[in-house]
Chains A and B, each alone.
Chain A
């Protein structure tokens, strides 16, 4: 069967203030009808540019196709070279024969137009339908993407829909004219894992039903394993390796591909292993050799949280009074021992971030107790709390925003030390040098500014700053979520190394189950502000008991093409909101112990 897309030696250049930058160079691949081709790479690999070139949308971003052909077989059988096509022809092809969906569902829809308008204008343009015929088709489309109450949705505006629903609408828009090729550029990256599973299942189902070809762009190897028939690996604008998905995962040829695969945490890898283990990265011999010795049992308790509750007021009404409350954290209790990691996992809005901040009293809890090293943190006055902060530090998610752009890195790492008057002068300088060494950053970086470093390097600086005053507890709030896969693995290894050497305890907040499996001794699953299941990592992962934990684990894609599983569409309930009226007294959290140390919330 003839290929539907054939890209030949594509080269795209961008004109920037600093001169001409090459986006992609010498890119060639094919896609057959009904096949899913995944283009995978880290940031800067050029994967997005490739897809935009196929739609001739690069020009709107300042790019030019300077070389190569992009051949596409149209519905009438003729071959069109997209690279040479006129704007009029492209207008007829886009949305009609090639559909495209993008990454951000929150901004992909025009905020001031109704859903109906946005679904029908493409239909009316390409297929010449009347308004009423187009509206009828729109209802059908919404049904095909399994949106409930489609007629009502048509009259609504985008902000009235959730992220997952908006993405479904975007898919419906792309599918409206039954295109032969669907380009999906990181369509699930901004979505929660359960919603991601649904959207992936949807795309797969539509592909099978319509016999569509799919060009799927992602940075997530697990998603690639789930979706791809064939894979193209890109790095710095060039293709590194091409092959079937089995070939790439089981028999990678190129070094970059091997390194990339080694850095991907695979759900299920830790089965049977007693303790967290560093990732076996290529080139990191120390990590490959290290096998974490099982620590002597029963170290003492460092952090004890009892019935922690944090609620935020919702203001409204005429006099801006409090009309309702967001129950961000509701009756949460757990303990964390010295030298161990407790992971708090959950999807967006579950309260894990608020929980971490409440423990450090960066936001004030409503009630409950927090004991660190035998001290009641909640009872401290402002002055003592400030002093106590030396023992508990935080690493934030955004490596750029957590550093002051106008201060040198050495000053920012030194700041905590100066605040507590722990060292000055030569001794201070020495300490900062040691910290930079500890996080494996070259000493030359000390005098630089944040914008001169990459994301991973900045996160190391943030870790160095957190270590500066020898804390016992570090709260890592999605500390690796914003990093590329290979960098993420390095930073995780660093964190585990520091834990072994310094006896640090981590409260590791994350949404990524595969990462958590690697790094945690104990795991707590959060939903709507409560812990629904908590226990040793092996217990929670091997024997998930609470229904939410089970659905969460079933939604996580596994980075192994031989272990594909497609969930039934619409299996997951939409995530409800934890907003309750004033005066609502929620029931306390009561747990059943299903195994030693493994607790499950009762319904």
Chain B
């Protein structure tokens, strides 16, 4: 069984490294304008030597577009998750550690936000602010914050009740120091695991938002936009949907695999 876990972890890491490589290095090495150049003679062309992933309805090479899209989609996802951590971590930490009235009030707010489906919240924020890359990040980041805050609050609550926190208090450690030295390191594993899983959801969310036209806007390239553009030619050119779809699937798969293995490694030891 350990072999399976390690295989799963390895595949996950390999996939992620690949995606990260493409996202960071890709746009720098491809010829400029390669993703927007329209080859009118080869519109909706199936995969070939000239165009390894085929072309879309405007004759643009799909491989270059998907590479560009990787960076966009990853940028948005990573920024959104970071934002949700920056907002949710202090919220959950204070709520869980101090408990009582603060906890009641804060969690009441968080629970209210949780009643809104994350996608709906993100869509609404994006529509209200005006869809572009920046606002997509804000929309997804804010929508994910309540989930993260709840999980962190649960962990902080658990750790706050551990004898070593009580021991630190009876040793004269101040609350602030306890949160920094004792609580934070012990909730970090959960934050990392949850962050990885959130990243997967953020990519799916960005794809969904762009698919509906409320995420990234043309002429920027993102996976969701590409899938949306492919809607009208599913019969005649299914690869226009498959290429970005698989990109999403592989990234999310890699993140999920990695996240699973991460959880198995980090959790048992802390407990």
Contacts and interface: CB of A to CB of B under 8 A. Distances in A.
27 contacts: A17-B2, A362-B170, A386-B172, A386-B174, A387-B172, A389-B170, A389-B172, A393-B170, A393-B171, A394-B166, A402-B163, A402-B166, A402-B167, A403-B164, A403-B167, A404-B164, A404-B168, A404-B181, A404-B185, A406-B186, A407-B181, A407-B185, A415-B173, A415-B181, A416-B172, A419-B171, A468-B171
B169 interface: yes
Nearest to B162: A401
Interface in B131-178: 162-164, 166-174, 177
A69 B171 CA distance: 55
Contacts of B163: 396-398, 401-402
Top 10 A-B pairs ranked by shortest CB distance? A416-B171, A402-B163, A419-B172, A406-B185, A396-B163, A401-B163, A404-B164, A389-B172, A17-B2, A394-B170
B164 A401 contact: yes
B42 to A, nearest CB: 54
Contacts of A386: 172, 174
A398 B165 CA distance: 13
B167 A462 contact: yes
- Main secondary structure on B side of the interface with A: helix
A503 interface: no
B41 interface: no
Contact of B186 (A393, A404, A451): A404
Contacts of B29: none
A405 B166 contact: no
A391 to B, nearest CB: 11
A403 B172 CA distance: 15
A389 B171 contact: yes
B191 to A, nearest CB: 13
Contacts of B49: none
Interface of B: 2, 162-164, 166-174, 177, 181-182, 185-186, 269-270
Nearest to A17: B2
B164 A415 contact: no
Chain A CB within 10 Å, residue with most, of B167, B177, B185, B186: B167
A184 B180 CA distance: 47
Q: Which of B164, B185, B269 gathers most chain A CB within 10 Å?
A: B164
Contacts of B182: 404, 407
A580 interface: no
Contact of B166 (A362, A407, A465): A362
A390 interface: yes
A360 interface: yes
A19 to B, nearest CB: 11
Nearest to B188: A406
Residue among A17, A360, A390, A419 with the highest chain B CB neighbour number at 10 A: A419
A113 interface: no
Interface string A432-467: 000000000000000000010000000000100100
B44 to A, nearest CB: 52
A569 B186 CA distance: 47
Given A392-B170, A401-B164, A468-B171, 8 more contacts: A389-B170, A393-B171, A401-B162, A403-B164, A405-B186, A405-B270, A407-B182, A419-B174
Contacts of A451: 269
Nearest to A360: B170
B164, B171, B186: which has the most chain A beta carbons within 10 Å?
B171
B180 to A, nearest CB: 12
Nearest to B185: A406
Interface string A1-34: 0000000000000000100000000000000000
A407 B171 CA distance: 15
Interface string A61-91: 0000000000000000000000000000000
Contacts of A390: 172
A468 B173 CA distance: 14
Nearest to B166: A362
Contacts of A462: 167
B261 to A, nearest CB: 13
A128 to B, nearest CB: 40
Contacts of A420: 172
A402 B171 CA distance: 12
Contact of B167 (A17, A387, A394, A405): A394
Interface string A224-268: 000000000000000000000000000000000000000000000
Contacts of B172: 386-387, 389-390, 416, 419-420, 469
Contacts of B269: 405, 451
A533 to B, nearest CB: 29
